[in-house]
Amino acid sequence: MLLISLSLENIRSYHEATIEFPEGSTLLSGDVGSGKTTILLAIEFALFGIQRGELAASSLLRHGERQGSVTLNAAINNKDVTITRTLKRDKDGIKQGAGKLLIDGKEESLTHVELKARILDLLGYPHELLTKAKSLLFRYTVYTPQEEMKRILFDDPDARLETLRKLFGIDQYRRARDNAATTSKELRIEERALRLQLEELPHLKKEHKEAAAEAKRLAEAATQAAKDAKAAEESRAAAEAQIKALLDEQERLQAAEHATKSLRRTIRDLDARKDHLAKTVEQANKNKQALRQEQAAPPADTKEQTRKKEAARTKVEERLRQARQQYAKAEAIKEEAQRNQEELAALSASCPLCRQAVPHEHKERLIKEQAAKEGEQAEKLATIAAFIKEAESKLATLERAIKDLRDQQLARAQALERAAGIKRQARLLDEQAKHAQEELEAVMKGRERAAQELAAQEESLARLAPARKRYEEQQARTAAAQLAAREAAATQARAAAESEAAQEREERLEKEVARLEKHQSRASLLHSTLHWLKEGFIPATARIEQAVFSALHGEFAQLFSAWFATIIEDEALQVGLDRSFTPVITLNGYDTEAESLSGGEKTAVALAYRLALNQVINEYITTIQTKDLLILDEPTDGFSAHQLDRMRDVLDQLRLRQLILVSHEAKMEGFVEHVIRISKQEQTSTIS
């Protein structure tokens, strides 16, 4: 990988800045705190994103800004790659957002996790680093922050060794042994379980042999039962064919029996009808005789007499009405005369109307006149009353006579109606007797025909009677054949089921035996595998690990010592490595603690260790694509002027396509090909 450019937006002390990285050696020059390390952290953020405990989002986004971004353009494995990552501030804090990956002009939008996975692929780093918070491989081979440079001298030996084992991939041998031990344990458990199951194998083989013999016997029995069932079925079919042949004759017999029964029933019905009709004719004749006896002459017609009597009654009623009117008129006159008399008697000496004097004689004369008038009307009333009484008596006589005449006329009408009814009944009886006689004659003829047909059917029954016996005998034989066929079929079904069950049992036992024999082979394989793991694989991985470890240790120690000698020209002060890759420092032949070294000497030890580690990793891990790049952050901290001069030789010997150094030492500018100057004013960094 070669860096081409880096663009920053609101990253730490930068508002907006773009840095171009040429090939060769480049120095990022500037005062302490000017923003040099920010560029290195931005490169790491662009590649791997936020790293928990190592690179926090809050340490990257510029204070007071809502969002920021880093865009890194690099050449990776002959591909033009541009990576963009973003940071956003919300109410919950600062988080990294989705990113973009542009490869040879093809852009993809990815989550931060997806983007990291793609970068690891491009860099050739192991995929297990995807879930790691810290990018160890990058930190140990490309870029180590200044504060971590000297940590190698004071790390716990076991932790340092474990880290190096992971970097070099040596821990895979131990993992292989651990996995082999775990696998061995699982295989031993499986082998013991298989051995327990295999204890049943001899018994199962014996049981399978017996089951096979039983299955064979039952199969033969089923074959015989099938033959018997077939023979029974053939007998049944033959019997049914014979009864079918007799069925037509039987049907004729049944038809003749049915016809005979029907004719007998018809004759019984005709006899009953004949008796009924004979009785009907006899009863009709009796009824006609009775009607003749009941018939008599009707009373005389009284219509004319009644008419005359009614006319006389009308005249009497008219005279009586007139008399009553005369009587009422006379009675009114009489009453008026009485009132006049009373009024005249009560009348005073003068007229009440005209006020003239009324003489007594005149008054008396008027009273007498009114009295005479009253008497005259009384006589008239008596005469009229006598007449009315006589007329009423005569009218009552006429009413009684009219009533008697009407009763006689009603009796005549009733007699005439009875006579007409008797005539109608007589006619009906004649018709009934006639129809009954005709029907009786027809019934007699029909009975005669039915009797003839019955005789013919009885003769046919007599001829067909033996057919019934033949049919019944064949029916019995057919039923027996059908029963035998059903029993044979049931026997066949039972035999087939038993044979099938026995076959299934044999197959099941055969499969079980085969399964256990496979288990037996599996158990043998497991036994040999366990022996190979224990005696071969595990010791071999230990030997391979030791050999690789020794080779790495030897090369690492040689490079470590060589780089240190290049930096520190003092034969009395030498470095080496113990078995845990911990630096061993000797001064005049005596081991010396790192704490007793000067600051420049400590930096020299750490730098030599990092350079040696970089070379060994790049040599042993062939897939990584960062071999052409090295970033050194303040590698000369505490160096003397002489040690600074020695750095020229170090840089010449590295022979890298791209080397980026961060230093505030002005002398370092003469050792590199390019210089990028960084300054900071009013909390904002700029590049020149």
pLDDT for residue 131: 52
Average confidence (pLDDT) over 490-500 = 86
Q: Contact at 8 Å (CB) between 637 and 149? A: yes
CA-to-CA dists, residue 391 to 324, 379, 388, 404, angstroms: 11, 18, 5, 20
Helices (H) and strands (E) in the chain, counts: 12, 16
Task: State the first-to-last Cα distance of the chain, in angstroms, to the nearest integer.
Answer: 24
Q: What is the tens place of the pLDDT at every residue in 424-455?
A: 777 777 777 777 777 777 878 887 887 888 78
CA-to-CA dists, residue 28 to 364, 511, 628, angstroms: 184, 77, 18
Q: In whole angstroms, give the CA distance from residue 81 to residue 104.
A: 7
Beta-carbon contacts of 1 under 8 Å, excluding residues fewer than 6 positions away, are: 74, 75, 76, 77, 123, 625, 626, 628, 629
Percentage above 90 pLDDT, the chain? 19
The tokens describing 56, both together, are: 């926090």
DSSP 533: I
Burial class (CB in 10 A: 0-12, 13-18, 19+), 456: middle
Q: In whole angstroms, give the CA distance from residue 388 to residue 386.
A: 5
Q: Contact at 8 Å (CB) between 632 and 608? A: no
Angle between helices 538-567 and 641-654 (to 10 degrees): 130
3-state class (DSSP) for residue 94: strand
**What's the whole-number average pLDDT of the chain?**
84
Contacts 24+ apart (CB under 8 A), 422-425: 422/291, 422/294, 422/295, 425/287, 425/291
Q: To the nearest 5 percent, what fractions of the chain are helix, strand and coil?
A: 70, 15, 15
355 pLDDT exceeds 60? no
130 pLDDT exceeds 60? no
Q: In whole angstroms, give the CA distance from residue 640 to residue 646.
A: 10
472 pLDDT exceeds 80? no
pLDDT for residue 295: 61
Average confidence (pLDDT) over 252-263 = 77
Q: What is the tens place of the pLDDT at every residue in 594-635?
A: 888 888 888 888 888 888 888 888 888 788 888 899 999 888
The tokens describing 457, both together, are: 């059917």
Q: In whole angstroms, give the CA distance from residue 8 to residue 25.
A: 22
CA-to-CA dists, residue 182 to 178, 194, 521, 538, angstroms: 6, 18, 22, 12
Confidence of residue 660 (pLDDT cuts 50, 70, 90): very high
Neighbours of 321 (CB within 10 A): 11
Confidence of residue 358 (pLDDT cuts 50, 70, 90): low
Residue tagged 């197959």 (tokens): 507
Between residues 43 and 138, the one the model is more confident about: 43
pLDDT for residue 133: 47
Burial class (CB in 10 A: 0-12, 13-18, 19+), 563: buried
369 pLDDT exceeds 50? yes
Q: Contact at 8 Å (CB) between 516 and 204? A: yes
102 forms bridges with which residues in the sheet?
82, 107
Q: What is the tens place of the pLDDT at every residue in 87-120?
A: 999 888 899 989 999 999 999 999 988 998 899 8
pLDDT for residue 19: 96
Q: What is the DSSP annotation of 180-211? A: HHHHHHHHHHHHHHHHHHHTTHHHHHHHHHHH
Percentage above 70 pLDDT, the chain? 92
pLDDT for residue 467: 66
350 pLDDT exceeds 70? no
Confidence of residue 349 (pLDDT cuts 50, 70, 90): low
Q: Contact at 8 Å (CB) between 599 and 634? A: no
